[in-house]
Amino acid sequence: MRRIINSTYISLDGVIQDPQDWPRTNVPSDGVFGTVQTELLFACDAVLMGGATYPSMAAAWMARSGDPYSDRINSMTKYVVSNTVRDPEWANTTVIGGDAIARIRELKAQPGQDIVQYGFGAVSYALLEAGLIDELRLWVHPFFVGAATSEDLMFRPSVTTQWELVGTIALNSGIVLLTYRTPTADK
């Protein structure tokens, strides 16, 4: 069975909203960040996102090409859980409406590589409550954003879920990647 791997940027104060607007560090990249992100994308053959994430992802990646990451994400299958997105412009994008959890269970059961989901919003919480997220990658950024609404934070009332820490990578930028799996996830 395919796994759903959620990859989310989070600040020290728990903000997950608009990471493209967060401060950048002045530390030169050691290349690990891009390598890890590219390896994750190439280990998957589908991207899953919610209707709130789709517009910014589509706008950012449809405008890029000519590098392995951009070419991969633009060519792979994408699923958007939404009751408002009707005619997605991004190539290979399918809208999932109605009983999204049932449809995502079907996608997980199909043969193929894993499915990556970026960001942690309403779709992620629905997946979490249904027991469908197998791996959680938190990219902890070394700063406080300092301003947020409750919708901008990772916390939402939800089910208690146990995770096992299976990996850590400290980047020279100060970002720490924490990788967790559910105890029942295929390893």
Residue 185 confidence class, pLDDT cut points 50, 70, 90: low
| Structure confidence at residue 187 (pLDDT) | 45
| Structure confidence at residue 129 (pLDDT) | 93
Residue 124 confidence class, pLDDT cut points 50, 70, 90: very high
Residue 46 confidence class, pLDDT cut points 50, 70, 90: very high
Of all residues in the chain, the percent with pLDDT exceeding 70 is: 98
Which of 40-58 are b and which e, b meaning 16 or more Cβ less than 10 Å from the residue's Cβ?
A: bbeebbbbbbbbbbbeebb
Residue 169 confidence class, pLDDT cut points 50, 70, 90: very high
Residue 50 confidence class, pLDDT cut points 50, 70, 90: very high
| Mean pLDDT, the chain, integer | 90
Reported pTM: 0.91
